Amino acid sequence: MHIGFMIQNESMLPHGKLLMQSLEKTKYESVRMMVPETEMDLVQELRAVYPDPKILVTPFSIPERYRKFPFADKLVGAAVAEALVEGTLLWMDTDSIAFQDLSSLELKENTAFAYRPVDKKLVGCEDGEPLTAFWQQIYNAFELEDEFSPMKTGVEELEIRPYFNAGFFILRTERGILQFWRDRFFTIIEHEEMHHYFEEHVLFKIFIHQAVLTGAVLASTTAAERQLLPGTVNYPIYFHDQHPIHDSVCTSNDLISCRYDTYFNQEPEEQNFPFSESMKSWIDAEVLKLGWFYE
């Protein structure tokens, strides 16, 4: 298994270092740290910090006009990482922490894509309701029929049409799903119809990358090739009190991995996720606050 993630800029360096520290338990073939080529000082800094030949820091380019479009950089970095490795790639957001050996999640022989659903519906499409016009645009772009089995959102447990979480997934790189995702994304966001949604509500612009990933996966794999990962993977600690399994999470040792997103942006008294005693020494809440780098 190869592992990939993006370190977007210098402010994300502490997040990347924490993730790398947590990956010490994981058996991997390589780690691909993807860095925008506009951040070459960061590339050199990371290469000095991680001289291990299995840890590769790779700059990638993104067209100037798209650099501020939400998460366009992430999907381009993911597509480049996919093209560089053979076998399976675990792609995750940098604000992730592994609590166990992630190689235990290696894909089964006939599985092409392993995933978690989105945590909450937001721009998703509820099962049993007509396909929304937004999702009809996605389905049309991938020539999909509305015939897929529903899934439950990770936190709300609401039945929705397929909508995959872009923060953590594993796939077979020979399928080219991430390159397909990248190429269709830049076509779809230029559709005039999509501009209406971007202007209507910012959530459409923020989550269009995730909707397009869903279309790319549905168009590239069969239901039998897709595998649902357990709720202990990519656990959203920022929704800890709302999560359906939170009562069974006594400490972070009960999880495989988490995402923290803006958890550390909260006031200290609101940060109530139970990190294990050993993990607490790794956490510097002040440097782990997340900024917003897009339009």
- Please write the tens of the pLDDT for every residue from 231-272: 999 999 999 999 999 999 999 999 999 999 999 999 999 999
Distance CA 129, CA 159 (A): 10
DSSP, collapsed to helix, strand or coil, labels residue 18 as helix
Mean pLDDT confidence for 175-201: 96
Mean pLDDT confidence for 202-217: 98
pLDDT at 75: 97
Cβ contacts of residue 20 below 8 Å, gap of 6+?
Answer: 31, 50, 55
Residue 208 — very low, low, confident or very high, per pLDDT cuts 50/70/90? very high
DSSP, collapsed to helix, strand or coil, labels residue 91 as strand
Cβ contacts of residue 90 below 8 Å, gap of 6+?
Answer: 1, 2, 3, 4, 102, 105, 168, 169, 170
Per DSSP, what are the bridge partners of residue 257?
A: 98
Going by DSSP bridges, is the β-strand pair 2-6/88-92 parallel, antiparallel, or unpaired?
Answer: parallel
The tokens describing 169, both together, are 């997934």
pLDDT at 283: 97
Residue 100 — very low, low, confident or very high, per pLDDT cuts 50/70/90? very high
pLDDT at 60: 98
Mean pLDDT confidence for 68-94: 98
CA 162 to chain CA mean position, Å: 16
Mean pLDDT of the chain: 97
pLDDT at 258: 98
What is the chain's length?
A: 295
Domain boundaries defined on the chain: 2-234
Residue 13 — very low, low, confident or very high, per pLDDT cuts 50/70/90? very high
pLDDT at 86: 97
Distance CA 295, CA 293 (A): 7
CATH of the domain spanning 2-234: 3.90.550
pLDDT at 51: 97
